[in-house]
Amino acid sequence: MAYLGNPGNTIAALQKYNFNFQKKYGQNFLIDTHVLDKIIRESKIDKDDFVLEIGPGIGTMTQYLCESAGRVVAVEIDKNLIPILHETLKEYDNVEIINEDILKLDLMSLIRQNGIQKPMKVVANLPYYITTPIIMGLLEKHMPIESMTVMVQKEVAERMQAGPGIKDYGALSLAVQYYTRPQIVANVPPNCFMPRPKVGSAVIRLTRHKKPPVETKDEQLMFRLIRASFNQRRKTLANGLSNAGNLHFTKEQIQRAILELGEPAAVRGETLTLEQFARLTDILKQILDE
Ligand code: SAM
């Protein structure tokens, strides 16, 4: 079977099956072997690894993954792609193709059924319309994942990597950085895909922390505080938190906590580090328990 990662072979595979791209599924297939090589290198997979690929498309990257990894599970929502995948991957006996929506897949039972012991590696050229729910779903559910090497919209990759004081810094940056160490490893222009997306792309590797970099007594409360702080970016932290519907602190309690944190009363959430959010959480929790 010819490798698919170039325009000619991709077009041939699409024509053979009379495949029509479905915009609603964010289908932009990779047609650049350099980018494919780079993703495989940066994902650091070897024959001991179990890899989850989200959205294999016609199997372009899956072929590379099958060559490098021990086992590959590829989850594709579009049923029209399944017969194509069966053909393009027929030479590999270490791949399982699942026709399912990744957001609905019971990953834990899949891991159990396959008797997988080692944390898996996720490698994907993600459908951009659901990048955040996919990544946050995998992280928040504490799935046994060692790393995720994923192609996302460039802007989203920058948000994941941003720190305080940078315009892109927000709830996604803090959540991703609580669970992982993000590192953008490649920028990928639109002409590496078929059809070309309207936005630039980047490959980001998220390496899971063995232990979160900060400790808090209440992880859920911390994320509620973070979300509330960035929901109302223009407001001060005190106003943002006291207006949030799902937090039940008085304005006085919040002001006291900010003071205890050692920050000025008019501080904005976007200047706080992850560590400060963790400390603020613990201070507010203690105030509640008084
Ligand atoms: N991996 C292929 C490549 O690099 O050429 C295709 C990547 S394309 C950007 C995204 C793929 O994700 C498409 O094949 C699309 O059908 C699939 N997809 C979209 N939504 C999905 C979902 N909810 N669950 C699983 N796959 C999905």
Quickly state the pLDDT bin for 2 (edges 50, 70, 90). low
Residue to mutate, 27, 88, 194, ligand 1, most ligand atoms under 8 Å from C-beta: 27
Average pLDDT, the chain: 94
If you take atom 5 of ligand 1, which residue's CA is the nearest one? 29
Top pLDDT among 205 and 166 is at 205
Please tell me the pTM assigned to this model: 0.94
pLDDT in tens, 182-227: 999 999 999 999 999 999 999 999 999 999 999 999 999 999 999 9
If you take atom 3 of ligand 1, which residue's CA is the nearest one? 29
C-alpha dist (Å) from residue 180 to 27, 42, 205, 209: 27, 16, 9, 5
If you take atom 21 of ligand 1, which residue's CA is the nearest one? 77
Over range 260-281, report the average pLDDT.
96
Pocket, ligand 1, Cβ cutoff 6 A: 25-30, 54-57, 60-61, 75-78, 81, 101-103, 125, 127, 130
Please determine, for residue 235, whether its predicted confidence score (pLDDT) is greater than 90. Answer: no
How much of the chain exceeds pLDDT 90, in percent?
87
CA of 61 to the centre of ligand 1 (A): 11
If you take atom 22 of ligand 1, which residue's CA is the nearest one? 101
CA of 290 to the centre of ligand 1 (A): 50
* Whole-number Å distance between alpha carbons of 170 and 103: 23
* Sheet with 95-99: strands ordered across: 95-99, 71-76, 50-54, 120-125, 145-153, 201-208, 180-188
DSSP state of 186: E
How much of the chain exceeds pLDDT 70, in percent?
99
pLDDT at 125: 98
* Whole-number Å distance between alpha carbons of 74 and 58: 11
User: Quick one: which atom of ligand 1 is closest to the CA of 151?
Assistant: 9
* Whole-number Å distance between alpha carbons of 39 and 19: 26
pLDDT in tens, 108-163: 999 888 888 899 999 999 999 999 999 999 998 889 999 999 999 999 999 999 99
Please determine, for residue 246, whether its predicted confidence score (pLDDT) is greater than 70. Answer: yes
- Compute how many other C-beta atoms are within 10 angstroms of the C-beta atom of residue 223: 19
Residue to mutate, 53, 64, 125, 128, ligand 1, most ligand atoms under 8 Å from C-beta: 125
CA of 240 to the centre of ligand 1 (A): 37
Please determine, for residue 1, whether its predicted confidence score (pLDDT) is greater than 80. Answer: no
Pair type for strands 201-208 and 120-125: unpaired
pLDDT at 141: 87
pLDDT at 220: 93
